[in-house]
């Protein structure tokens, strides 16, 4: 049963990753591209979480926490930089 759920999660995460790559390629602004890369990083982290749940281990937990934190800080930094450029 868990294998079926893992396959469904993998397919959904793959579709989300494809949509993020399309947004990064077509994105008209830098904010669209940064948001697409941030979501892609979170999709990779979610894939690692699915792997940890299926195989019942926590080997990638530190990477998942670090990736989510770095992605959040990077997105906030870029958005503040772009908003400061627009207000100037």
Nearest to 13 by CA among 61, 46, 56: 46
Residue 16: C-alpha distances to residues 8, 9, 36, 51, 58 (Å): 12, 10, 10, 17, 24
Tokens at residue 67, please?
């990736």
- Those residues whose C-beta lies under 8 Å from the C-beta of residue 48, and which sit 6 or more positions away, are 60, 63, 64
CB atoms within 10 A of CB 34: 20
Q: What is the pLDDT of residue 85?
A: 75
pTM: 0.88
Q: Show me where the domains of the chain are located.
A: 2-87
Q: What is the pLDDT of residue 87?
A: 73
Residues 40/13, Cβ–Cβ less than 8 Å = no
pLDDT (tens digit per residue) in 35-77: 999 999 999 999 999 999 999 999 999 999 999 999 999 988 9
Residues above pLDDT 70, as percent of the chain: 99
């Amino acid at each position: 049963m868990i294998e079926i759920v893992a396959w469904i999660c993998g397919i959904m995460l793959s579709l989300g990753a494809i949509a993020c790559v399309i947004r990064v390629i077509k994105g008209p602004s830098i904010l669209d591209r940064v948001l697409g890369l941030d979501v892609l990083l979170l999709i990779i982290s979610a894939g690692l979480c699915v792997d940890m749940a299926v195989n019942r281990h926590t080997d990638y937990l530190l990477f998942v926490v670090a990736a989510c934190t770095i992605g959040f800080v990077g997105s906030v930094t870029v958005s503040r930089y772009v908003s400061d450029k627009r207000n100037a």
